[in-house]
Amino acid sequence: MYSAREDDLNVRGIQNVRTSIWLIRHGQTTLNKQRRYQGIVDSPLTPFGMQQAEALARRLRRIPFTIAFVSPTGRTRATAMVVLRDRTTPIIEDTRWSETNHGRWEGLTYAEVCARFPDESVARFADPLHGRAQGGESLAEVNDRILEAWHALLRDYHGGRILVVTHSTPIQLILCHVTSLSPTDHWRWRVDAGSLTALDVYNSDAIIVRVVNETPRLTQQGSSEEHA
């Protein structure tokens, strides 16, 4: 796809090698629908979530991916299987693309967390970068592993077309990184279930944000279930 930015890079004598990265959040799950914390705990895709995966497959059908990275959860695997169906794209499961480990908050609603662990919830949100649920990860730790995965991807697959099937927080943190926002501003990026975010990277530092949170149209109208 032509971009005026490409001409600008050429004028400045920068080698015009593009690495295209397509980040998708898995389709809606049962726990998403119930608005429960879902990190390492897993939940199956709902019928609506499967429709979202099919819509992503149609949207991306013409992209010849070099490699696909998948967070090792059932919900991301199921989404990736639909998107990459009938392809020979190599798939690598990478734990660095996992969602935040919410520790003992996993599977609970926000109201349940506040009722069961009031002091812990206050402490966690008072320090959004380093706070954590007992047994879970801090945002700083998640950001470190996501950026490690990001830089490895750019180093090892320079010039490729890369698919990453992951979760909302990793995508939000990548968007913060490429736009020079603090990780604690990650909540400003809306990343719906079954959505697509695409970035073009030139020489690992000149980055075009092509699209954020695109939710491909379903072939038939699903139920009026809100993305969670």
Catalytic residues: 26, 99
Q: What is the DSSP string of 24-73?
A: EEPPPBHHHHTTB--SSS--PBPHHHHHHHHHHHHHTTT---SEEEE-SS
Reduced to 3 states (helix: H, G, I; strand: E, B; else coil), residue 1 is coil
CB-based contact 46:225 (threshold 8 Å): yes
Q: Please return the burial class of 177, using the count of CB atoms within 10 Å of its CB with bins 0-12, 13-18 and 19+.
A: middle
- What number of CA atoms fall less than 13 Å from residue 40's CA on the CB side? 11
Contact 108, 37 (CB under 8 A): yes
Cα radius of gyration (the chain): 18
CA angle, residues 117, 110, 76, in degrees to nearest 5: 115
